[in-house]
Amino acid sequence: MNKLILDTDGGVDDAQALLMLIAGGRTPDAITTVFGNVGLDAATRNILSTLAIAGADVPVHMGADRPLTQKIIDAKYIHGEDGLGGAPRPLENAKPASEDAIGFLRQTFREAGGKGEKIDFLMIGPLTNLALALRLEPSIINGIGQLTIMGATVYGRGNTTPAAEFNIYADPEAASVVFSADIDIVVIPWEPCVTHNMSGADVDTAFASVAAGPEKAFSEALADHARRTNASYGGGDVFRFVDPLAAAVVVDPSIVTKSLRASMDVALAPGITRGMTVVDPSGRLGTPMVTLVEEAKIDRLVDLYKASIAYIPG
Ligand code: BDR
Ligand code: CA
């Protein structure tokens, strides 16, 4: 199994995705953080807290605090002021690693490529860190194995603008750099994140069978916040798997039952389509073909989620 690096913007579903990786046996070997759902400092704090709750010792490297060219945005209206919906967390004693994410990614992928090895990379925030690393050192693609990205839409119905999904809209130029690179990419677009979910009642039942403890309190607070937010936006009392769906695909790629091969690019012009992803199964965009996940085994997904809320640090 290849080593794994996680790149994250530290939001509510990012924290649960990290717990799913750990419970699913794919604890990241390192984590890089990026601005996004909240600012870089808060995102980094949230990830250090999540690692502390899981009892996992993983180096965390801080990356970009802003997009390549545009103004910074966040999604505190979704993830709360702290980015974790106020979920209870331990005192933050842990510190991030001294090496920044861009230098770390360049060195790590360069060394892996030099040895003929590959490292898998899961990105669940804006794609800025990898874009910066690729711009400075394009040959790092030789050390990147499976790149899995939560972001984009297939059919152009965004969650942040009518046309754009958050992780792409937060830095469209970075996304364009990444989707133009010759890397084996699996994309978990917004559409399956909407259709793969658990009812609030099923979430309550799942938590009822978990023994009380910090991990349960943390995951339950994340789920409560996600359910409340979803309901407040008219989506009903439903828990949507977003970044956790991407984590599940990394833990168990066989969970995917339907996918689409297509070339993909990002609209960069100012206006209503900025950040929209255009997907072409005929490959006419000239960018490399990627695999877009459309459907996954929901039972397996729920099982992986349940394992992550009941996970007892060893
Ligand atoms: C993405 O944006 C963030 O709010 C989520 O964590 C996810 O990465 C969904 O569009
Ligand atoms: Ca995220």
The confidence score (pLDDT) of residue 313 equals 60
C-alpha dist (Å) from residue 164 to 3, 22, 104, 183:
31, 30, 30, 23
The ligand with the least distance to the CA atom of 189 is 1
Residue 119 · residue 109 · CB < 8 Å: yes
The confidence score (pLDDT) of residue 314 equals 52
DSSP one-letter code for 185: E
The closest residue, in CA terms, to atom 9 on ligand 1 is: 166
C-alpha dist (Å) from residue 224 to 13, 207, 301:
11, 11, 19
The confidence score (pLDDT) of residue 106 equals 98
Nearest to residue 296, comparing CAs of 219, 241, 227?
Answer: 241
Q: What is the ipTM of this complex?
A: 0.95
The confidence score (pLDDT) of residue 312 equals 67
Averaged in consecutive runs of 10 residues, what is the pLDDT profile of the chain (314 residues)?
97 97 96 98 96 94 98 91 90 88 98 98 98 98 98 95 98 98 97 95 94 89 94 91 97 98 97 97 96 98 93 62
Other Cβ atoms less than 10 A from the Cβ of 100: the count is: 16
Q: How far apart are the first and last CA of the chain?
A: 21
Other Cβ atoms less than 10 A from the Cβ of 163: the count is: 19
Q: Is 277 in the pocket of ligand 1 (CB under 6 A)?
A: no
What residues pair up with 147 in beta bridges, in sequence order? 121, 185
The closest residue, in CA terms, to atom 7 on ligand 1 is: 243
